[in-house]
Chains A and B, each alone.
Chain A
Amino acid sequence: MWKKSKSRRIFEVFNVLFMFFMMFIMLYPLIFVLNASFSDSNALIRNGGAPLWLPLEPTANAYVMTFKNPLIVSGYLNTIFIVIAGTLVSVIMSAMCAYPLSKRGLMLNGIITKLIMFTMMFGGGLIPFYLLVKNLGLTDNLWGLIIPTAISTYNMIVLRTGFAAVPESLSESALIDGAGHMTILFKIMIPLAKASFAVIALYYGVAYWNSWFHASIFLQRDSKQWPLQLVLRQILIMNDVQTGETAIDQQQNIAESIKYAVIVVATVPILCVYPFIQKYFTKGVMVGAVKG
């Protein structure tokens, strides 16, 4: 193509350097956490705020302590249940909503779509929602973290877009062959709109994995029911407020590296699957963007 000018070359060099800088900024905090989690707590405190390039006086004590914490273990199990059951319920509910709405010619589709879209812009607020869930008896119950938030309208629309792209003739011919709409939905639409399904399943899965706020207001009786993120909040956020930063008793010293180990334990699973699911996420952003 065109020959590159000198200023263009200089720009390109700086641009690449800038990108390396960005990657460093994004990765270093994680490397620091990883190093700190394998460091000895006292060494860590002596080190203060200096950057870590390798663990100090390497030890896995923090991990031993982390897995001894019964709340971490129960939190993990609760989160796994919530992610699996929640994603299943959410995907099925979204499909049941998106499939009829993707059909042309249903008289009520227009008004129902409008009423659903309206809920994206307006809601009753936190307390009415909280009292509703409470009155339905869904508090202190893991299903209370799933059912009230089962459908995300945004994800539902992503799925509807995917369904709308499947030719109408396919489901029509299946109807003529005597298939019911449920059969069409599960046997034809799900395989054909696979990409959209993958996208929203991942979105739901990650949302359930990350959620803690509803758990913090709905599960106030028994901390054994807490999902992992709520346990993390207790360890990472709440502890910090009470323990003064100057107190240097043994208990707190261990806590220093435990915090980092907890972060690693809670983040590694997501980062392990991340390279494989990244492209679906990117796709999801696009689909949502097209349809708004």
Chain B
Amino acid sequence: MAKQNAVTKKSDVKKVGYFARLRHDLAINKSLYLILLVPVLWYAIFAYGPMYGALMAFQKFNARLGIGGSPWVGFDNFVRFFSDPYFTRDLINTLRISIASVVFYFPMPIIFALLINEIDSRRFVKVVQTITYIPHFISLVVVCGMIKTFVASDGIITTLVSSITGIEFKESLLNNANLFTTIFVGSDIWQNIAWSSIIYIAAIMGVEQQLYEAAAIDGAGRLRQVWYVTLPSILPTIITMLILRMGSIFSVNNEKILLLINQLNAEQGETLSYYIYKKGITNADYSLSSAAGLFNSVINLVFVVATNYISKKCSDTYLW
């Protein structure tokens, strides 16, 4: 008994083995661990299960034989994937849409938040926010349905574009591959600019009022206050959001692609995740699709880790 009591002394804790401590921990917190068991099992099955299943990327997978029985083929599926002429095209399409989104979409909510912040009437701000958030709550299927009808040959957007540019369009703008990225990113801005600005508005509201007062005493006008006080203060938020965004530079919202793609715009609209969908679900070429999927997952992971690392080195902002 005396020995057991001694365990509680800090200097002795190290002497007790990890597994002994673990057993003790499991015993006293049994009911908590039992609760946790259900979600942990869920993660094991539905999050880690597919990671095990991804091994089929290295197999000539046969559904009847399963992962255990299918023959291993090394990197054959990856060779098939990389030598597919669509691979390069789809990779470029993915990057084109992603980079366009970072360049054109990403700054928009920040600008919107700064402009909202310049409105003095709280009530007007509330009205603007309530109304501009609405598109975010419309389902993606409906938004894409609206896009389709609006950019059809006689759609309202097509008519508007025609009257501005003077070009007559005989068919839907969606059938023009060169316009795919514009439509994709443009509708994203419409749907989410205000919603994405919430986080920046919150950051701006957190800026200390004294900073503005000090800047004003130093003779800074409103524009300079924004440039020298507001922006530096919300920079950590901006960088965090940029890290998150850069981490997913190789993934484009596949559901939206699926809703907007057709045979005529696939030249610029088909992304890697669409390729994975097409090969896997439509053509049932499971091994090839898994190889492409694994490539995509790994590259995404590398990008999240890399952007976080770079940001950690260059600034003080990082996610972990």
Contact = CB atoms under 8 A, between A and B. Distances in A.
Given A26-B132, A26-B194, A150-B42, A181 B159 contact: no
A229 B237 CA distance: 34
Nearest to A36: B149
B69 interface: no
Contacts of B131: 23, 26-27
Contact of A23 (B132, B172, B202): B132
Contact of A26 (B134, B259, B286, B298): B134
B208 interface: no
Most chain B CB within 10 A, of A2, A96, A105, is at A96
Q: Which 4 A-B pairs have the closest CB atoms?
A: A124-B50, A125-B293, A49-B159, A128-B53
Contacts of A16: 119, 124
A82 to B, nearest CB: 13
A167 interface: no
A232 B142 CA distance: 7
Contact of B172 (A25, A122, A245, A260): A245
Given A124-B51, A125-B50, A286-B199, A107 B25 contact: yes
Q: Which of A212, A237, A267 is packed against the most chain B CB atoms within 10 Å?
A: A237
Contact of A181 (B31, B112, B155): B31
A19 B115 contact: yes
Contacts of A112: 36, 40
Contacts of B214: none
Interface in B241-274: 247, 254-255, 258-259, 262, 273
Nearest to B153: A245
Interface of B: 21-22, 25, 29, 31-33, 35-36, 38-40, 42-43, 45-54, 56, 63, 112, 115-116, 118-120, 124, 127-128, 130-135, 137-142, 144-146, 148-150, 152-160, 162, 171-172, 190, 194-195, 198-199, 202, 216, 221-222, 237, 240, 247, 254-255, 258-259, 262, 273, 276-277, 280-281, 286, 289-290, 293-294, 296-298, 300-301, 304-305, 319
B281 to A, nearest CB: 6
Contacts of B301: 121-122
Contacts, number: 260
B contacts with A: majority SS? helix
B317 to A, nearest CB: 11
Contacts of A54: none
Interface residues on A, range: 35 or more
Given A19-B128, A97-B39, A271-B137, 15 more contacts: A19-B115, A26-B190, A48-B159, A49-B159, A50-B159, A93-B39, A119-B47, A125-B276, A148-B46, A156-B39, A181-B35, A236-B144, A236-B149, A286-B198, A286-B199
A286 B206 CA distance: 12
Nearest to A210: B139
A128 B281 contact: no
7 contacts: A45-B154, A107-B25, A124-B47, A124-B53, A124-B293, A125-B296, A285-B199
A223 B315 CA distance: 53
Contacts of A105: 29
Given A115-B43, A128-B53, A128-B56, A263 B145 contact: yes
